[in-house]
Amino acid sequence: MTTRRRRTAGRARPSLLATALAVALVASAPLAVGVPSGAVARHHGTLRVLSAGSLSNVMTLLGAAFKKDTGYALENTPLGSSAIANGVKSKTLQGDVFISASTSADLALEGAAQGNWINGYTDIGSSPVVLAYYPRSRFAARLTTRPWYDVITSPGFELGRTDPAVDPGGVLDLDALYGIGYGYDLPALLAIAHDQRTVYTEEAIPGLLQAGQLDAAFMYAVSAHAAHLPYVTLSGTRNLAAGYTVAALNGAPDPAAATAFVSWLTSPRGASIMVAQGLVPAKGAHFIRATK
């Protein structure tokens, strides 16, 4: 910027306007000390994220922090990970970044046969499947003192789970029901697994629990934590967990925003927010390149 100077007798002096601008610029400049790790240059525009519905509340926190650090607004579309992958492939969904709860959804977008929608993905953490419950449910006390699989078969118990056809978490829900049902010879659990009345969308379940319309529901711990819901672990099961990943989508409307977000999310700054919400961080997270 060129600053006009008024000629005076003798040496030229900075105008009052130039001096004021200089002071304002110094005062408004960000300090190098205290800049969050993972912060990038200020930008304008909107980043469009397609994320696993279990991260709906977490994405609100991430979006606010990302905008503060970078200037980008974040628009999130939460759905089941498999539903997102199908939507991307059919071109009914468009976004810059995909955050999945299962690598199976990533693999559905990799390689020439799948359309080369992503070049690979980065592990960002995991979260176990738990049974979250309404704290004022008449079954709440029993859930904390008895095996979960005994309580959810009680008469009048309202249970929620997700659809395995569109959400990898729904597959894990069935694994829990079938595993305990067959392993402990509990046909009532098998009946629940076949009852479509217990199926809800992943993004709707937290609100239904908070409103007391469900007594309990299968959720990832990170989702229950973000929704401030108590939960019990699924005793008798093992290795039932989401494996969260992030990937920039090829053909993204704003590839620069996608790159900035992936870099930010995998930095200590982004990771700290997710860990604070109960995500178990990935050990040595690194980019996993797509197979041809």
Strand spans (E) along the chain = 46-52, 73-79, 97-100, 120-133, 159-160, 216-220, 231-233, 241-248, 287-289
The rounded distance, in Å, linking the Cα atoms of 159 and 142 is: 15
The rounded distance, in Å, linking the Cα atoms of 259 and 197 is: 41
Q: What is the pLDDT of residue 162?
A: 97
Fold of 46-126+242-289: D-Maltodextrin-Binding Protein; domain 2 (3.40.190)
User: Looking at the DSSP assignment, which residues form a beta bridge with residue 149?
Assistant: none
Per-residue pLDDT of the chain (292 residues; tens, 9 = 90+): 443 333 334 444 444 334 433 433 333 333 333 344 444 557 789 999 999 999 988 999 999 999 999 999 999 999 999 999 999 999 999 999 999 999 999 999 999 999 999 999 999 999 999 999 999 999 999 999 999 999 999 999 999 999 999 999 999 999 999 999 999 999 999 999 999 999 999 999 999 999 999 999 999 999 999 999 999 999 999 989 999 999 999 999 999 999 999 999 999 999 999 999 889 998 766 677 776 6
Q: What is the pLDDT of residue 29?
A: 39
Q: CA 64 → CA 5, 158, 206, distances in Å?
A: 42, 34, 20
Q: What is the pLDDT of residue 292?
A: 60
Domain map (residue ranges) of the chain: 46-126+242-289, 127-241
* 127-241 carries CATH number 3.40.50.10310: no
- DSSP 3-state of 149: helix
Long-range Cβ contact pairs of 264-268 (< 8 A, separation 24 or more):
264/38, 264/39, 264/40, 264/66, 264/69, 264/70, 265/38, 265/62, 265/66, 265/124, 266/122, 266/124, 267/37, 267/38, 268/37, 268/38
The rounded distance, in Å, linking the Cα atoms of 281 and 125 is: 4
What lies within 8 Å, CB to CB, of 26 at 6+ separation is: none
Which residue, 105, 40, 268, 276, is CA-closest to 285?
268
Contact predicate 50/109, CB 8 Å = no
Instruction: Give pTM, 2 decimals.
Output: 0.81
46-126+242-289 and 127-241 agree in CATH topology: yes
